[in-house]
Chains A and B, each alone.
Chain A
Amino acid sequence: MDLILDGIIKAIKLLIAGDPEVLGITWLSLKVSGTATLISVGIGISIGMIVALTRFPGKKFVVSVVNTGMGLPPVVVGLFVTIFLWRNGPLGFLDVLYTPTAMILAQAVIATPIVMGISIAALQNLPAKLRLQILSLGATRMQMVWLLIREARLPLMAAVMAGFGGVISEVGASIMVGGNIKGYSRVLTTATVMETGKGEFDVAFALSIILLVLVFLVNYLFTLIQQRERPR
């Protein structure tokens, strides 16, 4: 019991002091996971849109594959990204293994199917005739896509939140492709794993609290955007 209490007290002290190393770790977490989410939103929503709105043979199979991808274990992703980025791997020439770039890449691979899967469900959930209605209002294809995205904005924002939540809390792939290098590729989750392993519970606590607050703040922001302009 003392262990927990001590941990919390030390954590709060650490937070108030504004330790530069902790701040650096926090900022990198936000940067890596934010960028990865942005990439996954770009790919996930656009491909999700195509899958949801077009008819092609094997569509059900594709949707199943995407849905399976939503539960992709981060360590598996970490393994494959490592192999790809390994010096003599297919993407070895990029020379980005054990850098934040590699972490962004791995996290984007994890988040993309999540965003895509929820986007497909969201867009398929719109009334089938809505597209015809939008076109009959004189919309161009781009205007139609934009109006459909607006119409599905609640579940699409949920897709973004799920994607971000999936990668900010992920640790396996980040350690494998980032290496948890101090002051370079150390993020909140990898640092927490390390500090806990060392028995430094107070630091681990502080990092965990920061992680929770961060996730909360980002989701709160998304929720504000999501619920904006909702008429009464």
Chain B
Amino acid sequence: MNNSNSIISVEDIKVELGGVSVLDIPSFCLNSKEFVSLIGPNGSGKSTFLLVLNCLLKPVSGRISYRGNDILSRDDVIRFRRRISMVFQEPLLFDTTVYKNVASGLNIRGVKRAEIHERVMRYLKWFNIEHLAHRSARKLSGGESQRTSLARAFAIEPEVIFLDEPFSALDPPTRHAITDDLETIVRQTGITTVMVTHDQSEALRMSDRIAVMNVGKIVQTGVPSLVMNNPVNEFVANFVGMDTILEGRVEEALDGMVTVSVAGREIEAVGRLQPGDKAYCCIRPENVAIELRDPDDLTTARNVFPAKIVDIDSMGPFLKVTLDCGFPLVSFVTREAFASLGLDEGKPVFATFKATAVHLIQGSEQKF
């Protein structure tokens, strides 16, 4: 754990609330230039962990160190906090102009006026809110407020930025626009980032590493495709929801239709990716049908693959059938259909799913 690349590392962190353990992290290490997403259900301790990493919440026990030095005294804490910054779910802006909000972290550090001006203008521009500089922060839309909050956090040019579900209160179009801008800036600056999110596609798209949390513990951590495809336990599997996540590369793109090559097979999907893009095809099991004959002329499904049943699990009224089509594919089949089709382990079948059933996520080249 003590590699020289680490910025923040924690050991034996325990947080209790009214005698009940809410966080228990034996060890965690944040590496330089890394983007880590913390995912997990409500109450899993994600935000609590973020506050501990920020030194905003004192754990009942444990050690936090910054670049190998333990953070002990109050002065250590202030010094540490001046190298990081945090964006909360709510923008938490000051009742003043956008400009002064973005300048606030720099004012706290006693940065010279001319430099404050230069930096504030730069970050206002980066987050596309230059035109709002002299507007009252009380008169901004949700998206504009969160952009201001992000600009304020980036303007101090921290070594690490912590994001606590910064987009979850925004509507989807606004959310996508801000995520795009944030991604660009994170890539350009190469800033070390820890983000708490509910959105798996967001985590998948931006992270080098995902840590899945449940009841105050990190249950799995690893590169996104590993966590998504090889969940260590049922909890992670259920939480990540998508039983099938396939990594591939876009071969062709025409009129909103995309062909993705996955393990030598071609999957047709609906999306706007470009040829050569790295892509994740996410397919929900309820959208995958199993047929006994090649249904090419029987259905409108665009994707048909010969497959073999490799595993069958009971899921209440459904059976979860894992198929091997050259890549793993999971399907939900009703018990009735299962019986009438005479399905069994090892049986050769055809798996079909529509192009619209494929959830495409663009993978990033710099990452993974």
Contacts and interface: CB of A to CB of B under 8 A. Distances in A.
A138 B110 CA distance: 11
Given A136-B84, A136-B85, A139-B108, A151 B92 contact: no
A118 B51 CA distance: 31
Nearest to B99: A231
A138 B105 contact: yes
B136 A132 contact: no
Contact of B85 (A130, A137, A150): A137
A136 to B, nearest CB: 4
B109 A138 contact: yes
A147 interface: yes
Given A151-B95, A229-B96, A135 B90 contact: no
A137 B156 contact: yes
A127 interface: yes
Interface in B77-96: 78, 81-82, 84-86, 88, 90, 92, 94-96
A133 interface: yes
Given A127-B90, A129-B90, A232-B136, A138 B51 contact: no
B90 A138 contact: no
Contacts, number: 58
Bin the interface of chain A by size.
20 to 34
A230 interface: yes
Contacts of A64: none
A143 interface: yes
**Complex A-B, nearest 10 residue pairs according to Cβ-Cβ distance, in ascending order:** A136-B86, A138-B82, A231-B136, A133-B92, A137-B105, A231-B97, A138-B81, A139-B108, A132-B56, A138-B108
Interface of B: 51, 54, 56, 78, 81-82, 84-86, 88, 90, 92, 94-97, 104-105, 108-109, 134-137, 152, 156, 162
Given A132-B56, A136-B56, A138-B85, 12 more contacts: A129-B90, A132-B51, A133-B88, A137-B81, A137-B104, A138-B78, A139-B108, A147-B104, A151-B95, A229-B96, A231-B136, A231-B137
28 contacts: A129-B90, A129-B92, A130-B92, A132-B56, A133-B86, A135-B81, A136-B56, A136-B81, A136-B84, A136-B86, A137-B104, A137-B105, A138-B81, A138-B82, A138-B108, A138-B109, A138-B156, A139-B108, A140-B78, A147-B104, A150-B94, A150-B95, A153-B95, A230-B136, A231-B96, A231-B97, A231-B134, A231-B137
